[in-house]
């Protein structure tokens, strides 16, 4: 589905991303972890053609993303507030996204009903602009906006950050559900190793812009991840 070839990006001669080869299959649920500055967001921005690669390319369905914007038809994404329109109310924002994606009123309403749980009662009919919501609620609005168009590929940058515990759990269920029912290809980054191990089938660790580990999730994955990010602790538990 998404094919990354020889991709590299540098800022002021410092390489922030350098990936030789990475394939993400259709229907794969792909998790990305790495410390701050590892290049997670840069990778997502490159996949979404928001920044220009110095070298190499990203292919989506075998078409280079920078050459043709076909991918916009089937990709939903939410990275940060840059994807929100702050002076709209949430309902207006959703309607706007629905309109430009050709989603009808009825479909949108059905969607609301499906996700009523995820929103709780804090988002809809609040008569508040997006900019006046808390960070966590803004994130919920953005994530919902990303899936309105029923995409085949979903890209979320740290979706669990800023969410309250109940919403985190609901989001995990929602993502798993979407993945199973719709065969959605998901690319998700997170700092929470528990969450990412739970929702992803495959986890890639980035460090200084390079892929250092590529794991298929199993029962030991969480331990392996924790071991990677905190080597001393891992040694202690083993001995």
Partner 1 sequence: MQKFTLLSHQWKAATRSAAVSKSIGIKVFMGFVFFILFLELLGGGFYVGSTLAKSSANPIADLLRYGLYFFLAILLFRYMLQKLPTLMVKPYLVLPIKKSKLVNFMLTKPLFNSLNILPISFVLAITLGLHKQMDTYSFWVIVGSVMVGDLFVNYLSIYIKRVQIKHEYVFYLFLASVGALLFLDQFGIIDLQAFSSLVFIQVIEQPLFLLLGLLLFVVAYYLNFQLLYNHFSLEDFGKGDTNQRSSLENLNYLDRFGKIGTFALLELKMCVRNKRTRTMLFMAPLFLLYGLFFYTKPDYHEMNGFLIFIGIFISGGFMMSFGLYFFAWESGHFDLMLTANNTYKDYIKAKYYLMMSTSTVIFLLSTFYVYYGIDILIINSMCFLFNIGINSCCFSTLQQTTTNTWIFRKVQHLIIKVLAEDILF
* Binding residues vs partner 1 (CB under 8 A): 48-52, 69-70, 72-73, 75, 77, 79-89, 92, 96-97, 99-102, 127-129, 131-132, 149
Least separation, in Å, of the C-beta of 127 and partner 1? Answer: 6
- By beta-carbon proximity to partner 1, the closer residue of 130 and 205 is 130
- By beta-carbon proximity to partner 1, the closer residue of 24 and 46 is 46
- By beta-carbon proximity to partner 1, the closer residue of 61 and 172 is 61
Structure tokens at 40: 């997670």
What are φ and ψ of residue 176, in 5° steps?
Answer: -60, -40
Which run of H or of E encompasses 22?
strand 14-24
Least separation, in Å, of the C-beta of 116 and partner 1? Answer: 22
- By beta-carbon proximity to partner 1, the closer residue of 105 and 117 is 105
Half-sphere exposure at residue 165, Cβ-oriented, CA atoms within 13 angstroms: 0
Least separation, in Å, of the C-beta of 13 and partner 1? Answer: 17
Measured between alpha carbons, how far is 239 from 232 in angstroms, rounded to an integer?
11
Measured between alpha carbons, how far is 186 from 189 in angstroms, rounded to an integer?
10
Least separation, in Å, of the C-beta of 188 and partner 1? Answer: 16
Measured between alpha carbons, how far is 24 from 29 in angstroms, rounded to an integer?
9
Local structure of 123: helix, strand or coil: coil
- By beta-carbon proximity to partner 1, the closer residue of 77 and 168 is 77
Dihedral angle computed from the Cα positions of residues 160, 166, 172 and 178, in that order, rounded to the nearest 10 degrees: -110
Least separation, in Å, of the C-beta of 128 and partner 1? Answer: 6
Structure tokens at 168: 């985190």
- By beta-carbon proximity to partner 1, the closer residue of 95 and 176 is 95
Least separation, in Å, of the C-beta of 161 and partner 1? Answer: 17
- Taking alpha carbons only, the member of 94, 96, 183 closest to residue 142 is 94
Which run of H or of E encompasses 204?
strand 202-207
């Amino acid at each position: 589905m998404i094919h990354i070839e020889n991709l590299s990006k540098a800022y002021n001669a410092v390489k922030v991303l350098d990936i030789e080869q990475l394939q993400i299959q259709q229907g794969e649920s792909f998790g990305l972890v790495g410390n701050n500055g590892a290049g997670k967001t840069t990778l997502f921005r490159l996949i979404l053609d928001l920044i220009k690669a110095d070298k190499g390319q990203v292919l989506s369905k075998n078409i280079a993303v920078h050459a043709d914007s076909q991918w916009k038809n089937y990709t939903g994404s939410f990275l940060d507030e840059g994807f929100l329109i702050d002076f709209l109310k949430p309902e207006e924002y959703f309607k706007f996204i629905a309109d430009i994606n050709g989603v009808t009123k009825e479909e949108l309403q059905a969607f609301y009903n499906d996700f009523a749980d995820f929103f709780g009662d804090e988002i809809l009919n609040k008569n508040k602009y997006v900019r006046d919501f808390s960070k966590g609620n803004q994130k919920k609005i953005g994530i919902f906006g990303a899936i309105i168009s029923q995409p085949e590929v979903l890209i979320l940058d740290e979706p669990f950050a800023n969410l309250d515990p109940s919403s985190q759990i609901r989001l995990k269920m929602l993502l798993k559900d979407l993945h199973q029912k719709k065969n959605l290809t998901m690319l998700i980054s997170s700092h929470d190793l528990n969450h990412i191990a739970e929702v992803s089938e495959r986890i890639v660790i980035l460090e200084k812009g390079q892929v250092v580990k590529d794991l298929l999730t199993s029962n030991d994955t969480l331990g392996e991840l924790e071991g990677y990010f905190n080597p001393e602790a891992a040694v202690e538990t083993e001995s």
